[in-house]
Amino acid sequence: MLRVNLWGPYHCAREVVPVMIRQGGGTIVNISSIAGKIGDLTSAPSYGTSKGGLNAFTKALARELAPHGITVNAVAPHAIETEMSREWPDEKRREVLATIPLGRMGTVREVAEAVAFLASDGARFITGEVLNVNGGSLMD
């Protein structure tokens, strides 16, 4: 879990940051989770721990790279319609939906659009943020 969710983004950043510095800027968007903000919800504690570490890494890297014109942010989804969530038992689906003020699961497209926004020129003054994409499940 840590290898994929924390070390993976670390190693990707390690490779791309020198290039971004040479080119005078860039954007990094990490994929976190609501579990990184509130602790794990349903799987192993290592999942929430790895995503919490990713959130801290995102913020630390944002501070370090800002002078180079590089923004670093993350999106924190929750309850997204995927192949995995489609396999949830009906009871679990009802329990999850009850925690979402918008009353529905999110879509992969909605997560992708949040990433695209953070990577766009419209977000050039945003760095060190972990953006909730969760239908209001967590408002912080």
Q: CATH number of the domain that 56 lies in?
A: 3.40.50.720
Domain enclosing residue 6, as ranges = 2-133
Tokens of 62: 């944002």
How many structural domains are present in the chain? Answer: 1
Q: Judge contact between 76 and 33, C-beta under 8 A.
A: yes
Residue 81 falls inside a structural domain: yes
Known catalytic residues?
47
Residue 113 falls inside a structural domain: yes
Tell me the per-residue pLDDT of 62-102, one tens digit each, with 9 for 90 and over: 999 999 999 999 999 999 999 989 999 999 999 999 999 99
Residue 16 falls inside a structural domain: yes
Tell me the per-residue pLDDT of 16-57, one tens digit each, with 9 for 90 and over: 999 999 999 999 999 999 999 998 766 678 889 999 999 999
E-assigned strand segments in the chain:
26-31, 70-77, 130-133
Q: pTM of the full predicted structure? A: 0.93
